[in-house]
Amino acid sequence: MNSGFLPISKQDMKERNIDQLDFVYITGDAYVDHPSFGHAIISRVLEAHGYTVGIISQPDWKDDESITILDKPRLGFLISAGNMDSMVNHYYVSKKKRTTDAYTPGGEMGKRPDYATIVYGNLIRRTYKDVPIIIGGIEASLRRMAHYDYWSDSFKRSILLDSQADIISYGMGERSIVEIADALNSGISIKDITYIDGTVFKTKDVEFLTSYDDESLNAIRLPSYTDMKENPALYADSFQIQYQNTDAFTGKAMIEEYPNHIYVVQNPPSKPLSTEEMDDVYALPYMRTYHPSYEEKGGVPAIAEIKFSLISNRGCFGGCNFCALTFHQGRIIQVRSHESILEEAKLLTEDKDFKGYIHDVGGPTANFRQPACEKQLKCGVCKNRQCLFPTPCKNMIADHSDYVSLLRKLRELPKVKKVFVRSGIRFDYLLADKDDTFFRELVEHHISGQLKVAPEHISDAVLSKMGKPENKVYEKFTQKYKRLNEKAGKNQFLVPYLMSSHPGSTLKEAIELAEYLRDLGYMPEQVQDFYPTPSTVSTVMYYTGIDPRTKEKVYICKNPHEKAMQRALIQYRNPKNYDLVLEALTKAGRTDLIGFDKKCLIRPRKMGNTGNAPIKKYSDTNKKYSDTNKKSDKPAKTKKKTIRNVHKKK
């Protein structure tokens, strides 16, 4: 029976009277036909332009026959590792294997290979020698040029070469994939598709490159792969050039040379989608759930996070150095219309499982609903100036009125009890808005008991390496948040995301953060060690020891034991961390923080205790230990507090 999903078998093709598919899409995720999944958007966009697409989800990479189940496509294979880089999907920052995969039926781990895009590409090439292979998605997009790979601790070539693919559609891909399809359909060889924005191709045509790299076209020659591999400082130079050319209006083509006269050429990014184009993408006939063949395994866990959420924008001008959004979605904000979002919201309310709660309305940053300034859609973003860092640009327009209007309309829909905002709120942008309407309504209507924000650290030295505002900005935000809650008669909390071991963070800065948390009376439940993922400024710092923006040397914490100490300091009250905290304080010369004074982080060992067991009682601590989930001992007549008392004590 034709279910409305795209074909996943020859029987499905037969029911649709399809003899040969135009494209076969190989994905490392389960097949979920929802606009939060890249394979769903790209396949539905192609379908809307008249092309037939079949899906092969999580093929057995050890079996060459697994990618032949839909036969040879007429125009080409599409490959994506999935919604996450396959290595991030598989491993914690410690490189320990994860046990579950939310993008696989039943949450089962191990259904996709490491470096999935490369493995799938080679799997196809062994069977189909001449069929065009187009790779895309987050893994291919962020590995499109030479890059540092954390998991192998090596400097890798462009994924285009290692995957044996013909072309990369990088970024969000809706424009470029249709242009590629139209070119192939018109009879143009894949090797001649060298002109499409948002693509990366390879060539040996040195004469062509000579003409391409002339003054009129302004193509940029990057350092060669061989030179960068021998001298990592050149990679910092190359990355800075790439970072300055991520804008669709001002970005230039870039050329990277490899041995044997192979050249990888990146064309400028695709232009951002207009509101009308965004609306068209999200109005396509998605089934909005996982394929029914997964029911017997309990479905796909990832659907729970997005089933009753709404994507309102894409792109981010926040510019956090540890985030790859600049490289993937760009800095120019693209938004859907209110009408488009409201129409999707009505679909949510008709779902049999809808309980009256829209879980989120946002995107990479929820409160960005227009470009940072008026000139961006005409002139592009500034190459050497961030919109928010180190301070908001004077040309930036901080205005939440459109977002407020959208949220009000959603609240008024029949069957809707509550509309939450759970995507990241950029608090410095929030403060830059002189009108408090959104902040007030956020507190009154859109928080489910606690608001998660991302200050990441409190040391200004570390924050500058992160591309985050100074700590005083976050302090101002917390104070205002507290006042608005008091005025609204609410007792809602802030849950800050914090990061340890980011480039620039020594034990000194880690201890500063621990002291800040001590004064706050808060121990975070979650702490994220810095995770060096491809194509971020912070990862370049981690690999080269150089800030690519300033060329200054940066302290890098790479030793696993020191990383453990930095992490333990943030959760210093956890008894399991006692030995690491003791060692860190001793090593940093801060034994003044070991004692019985209220300013101390830990107490000394019990008198006569020669073992290694940490002291279990902390009379000055009235919080739950986040890892053990056990209550600490409390002095008599002390009112019980919990981890939810975030930022209440100042």
DSSP states along 176-222? HHHHHHHHHHTT--GGG----TTEEEEE--HHHHHHHTSTTTT-EEP
Identify the pLDDT of residue 616. 38
Structural Rg of the chain based on CA atoms:
26
> Tens of pLDDT along 389-405?
999 999 999 999 999 99
Distance CA 29, CA 59 (A): 10
N-term to C-term CA, the chain: 62
> Is residue 592 a contact partner of residue 530, using CB atoms and an 8 Å limit?
no
> Tens of pLDDT along 420-468?
999 889 999 999 999 999 999 999 999 989 999 999 999 999 999 999 9
Phi, psi of 580 (to 5 degrees): -70, -40
Q: Among the residues of 20-115, which ranges form H helices?
A: 38-48, 86-90
Identify the three-state secondary structure at position 252: coil
Q: Which of 64-78, 102-116, 205-219 has the lowest average pLDDT?
A: 205-219
Phi, psi of 92 (to 5 degrees): -75, 170
> Is residue 423 a contact partner of residue 363, using CB atoms and an 8 Å limit?
yes
How many domains does the chain contain in total? 2
Q: Give percent of the chain with pLDDT exceeding 70.
A: 91
Residue 515 falls within a domain, yes or no?
A: yes
Q: Which of 162-171, 472-481, 530-539, 601-610 has the lowest average pLDDT?
A: 601-610
Confidence of residue 219 (pLDDT cuts 50, 70, 90): confident
The mean pLDDT of 502-517, rounded to a whole number, is: 97
The mean pLDDT of 24-43, rounded to a whole number, is: 98
Among 3, 78, 74, 1, smallest CA distance to 285 is for: 3
- Checking if the pLDDT of 3 tops 80, the result is no
Residue 613: both structure tokens together: 């067991």
Long-range contacts at 505-509 (CB < 8 A, ≥ 24 apart): 505/457, 505/459, 505/462, 505/465, 505/530, 505/555, 505/557, 505/566, 506/555, 506/557, 507/562, 507/565, 507/566, 507/569, 507/584, 507/587, 507/588, 508/588, 509/457, 509/459, 509/461, 509/462
Measured over the CA atoms of residue 316, residue 272, residue 142 and residue 103, the dihedral's sign is positive
Identify the pLDDT of residue 207. 63
Residue 514 falls within a domain, yes or no?
A: yes
Distance CA 356, CA 111 (A): 35
Choose the final residue of a domain: 199, 223, 238: 199
Give the pairing of strands 133-136 and 76-80: parallel
Does 469 sit behind a cis peptide bond, omega within 30 degrees of 0 on the bond before it? no
- Checking if the pLDDT of 521 tops 50, the result is yes
Choose the final residue of a domain: 199, 227, 258: 199
Distance CA 307, CA 36 (A): 9
Residue 496 falls within a domain, yes or no?
A: yes
> Average per-residue pLDDT in the chain?
91
Q: Give percent of the chain with pLDDT exceeding 90.
A: 86
For 245-327, list the strands marked E by DSSP: 254-258, 262-266, 289-290, 309-311, 313-314
Among 434, 496, 487, 488, smallest CA distance to 468 is for: 496
Identify the pLDDT of residue 379. 87
Identify the pLDDT of residue 644. 38
For 181, counting Cβ atoms within 10 Å of its Cβ (0-12 exposed, 13-18 middle, 19+ buried), the class is buried
- Checking if the pLDDT of 625 tops 70, the result is no
- Checking if the pLDDT of 79 tops 80, the result is yes
Identify the pLDDT of residue 279. 98
Residue predicted with more confidence, 623 or 74:
74
Q: Which amino acid is at 7?
A: P
Distance CA 352, CA 632 (A): 43
Residue predicted with more confidence, 524 or 554:
554
Identify the pLDDT of residue 448. 87
The mean pLDDT of 619-639, rounded to a whole number, is: 36
- What is the DSSP code string of 92-161? -TT-PBPS--TTSGGG-S-SS-TTHHHHHHHHHHHH-SSS-EEEEHHHHHHTSSSEEETTTTEEE--HHH
> Tens of pLDDT along 298-307?
999 999 989 9
CA distances to 31, 317, 426, 557 from 363, in Å? 22, 12, 12, 31
Residue 383: DSSP 8-state: S
- Checking if the pLDDT of 174 tops 50, the result is yes
What does the CA dihedral 576, 528, 477, 442 come to, rounded to 10 degrees? -110
Measured over the CA atoms of residue 426, residue 144, residue 113 and residue 564, the dihedral's sign is negative
> Is residue 57 a contact partner of residue 30, using CB atoms and an 8 Å limit?
yes
Residue 501 falls within a domain, yes or no?
A: yes
Distance CA 78, CA 61 (A): 16
Identify the pLDDT of residue 383. 86
Distance CA 418, CA 378 (A): 38
Give the pairing of strands 357-358 and 528-529: unpaired
For 482, counting Cβ atoms within 10 Å of its Cβ (0-12 exposed, 13-18 middle, 19+ buried), the class is middle
Distance CA 206, CA 54 (A): 37
The mean pLDDT of 258-270, rounded to a whole number, is: 95
Residue predicted with more confidence, 646 or 384:
384
| Angle at the Cα of 585 from the Cα atoms of 532 and 630, rounded to 5 degrees | 80
Distance CA 68, CA 81 (A): 18
Domain that holds residue 564: 487-650
Q: What is the residue whose two structure tokens read 């409160």? A: 367
Distance CA 150, CA 94 (A): 11
Q: Which of 22-36, 220-234, 566-580, 616-630 has the lowest average pLDDT?
A: 616-630
Distance CA 16, CA 6 (A): 10
- Checking if the pLDDT of 620 tops 90, the result is no
> Tens of pLDDT along 86-133?
999 999 999 999 999 999 999 999 999 999 999 999 999 999 999 999
Among 314, 312, 310, 313, smallest CA distance to 346 is for: 310
- Checking if the pLDDT of 626 tops 60, the result is no
Distance CA 397, CA 377 (A): 14
- Checking if the pLDDT of 636 tops 60, the result is no
Distance CA 199, CA 289 (A): 30
Residue 474 falls within a domain, yes or no?
A: no
Among 59, 71, 82, smallest CA distance to 23 is for: 71
- Checking if the pLDDT of 194 tops 80, the result is yes
CA distances to 265, 470, 534 from 254, in Å? 6, 34, 18
Confidence of residue 42 (pLDDT cuts 50, 70, 90): very high
Q: What is the residue whose two structure tokens read 């000394």? A: 604
Residue 361 falls within a domain, yes or no?
A: no
Distance CA 648, CA 520 (A): 8
What's 111's domain CATH number?
A: 3.40.50.2300
Identify the pLDDT of residue 580. 97
Residue 165 falls within a domain, yes or no?
A: yes
Long-range contacts at 87-94 (CB < 8 A, ≥ 24 apart): 87/114, 87/115, 87/149, 87/150, 87/151, 88/531, 88/533, 89/28, 90/114, 91/151, 93/528, 93/529, 93/530, 93/531, 94/529, 94/560
Choose the final residue of a domain: 199, 227, 256: 199
The mean pLDDT of 141-165, rounded to a whole number, is: 98
Identify the pLDDT of residue 218. 72
Distance CA 494, CA 195 (A): 48
Q: Which of 72-81, 366-375, 473-482, 623-632 has the lowest average pLDDT?
A: 623-632
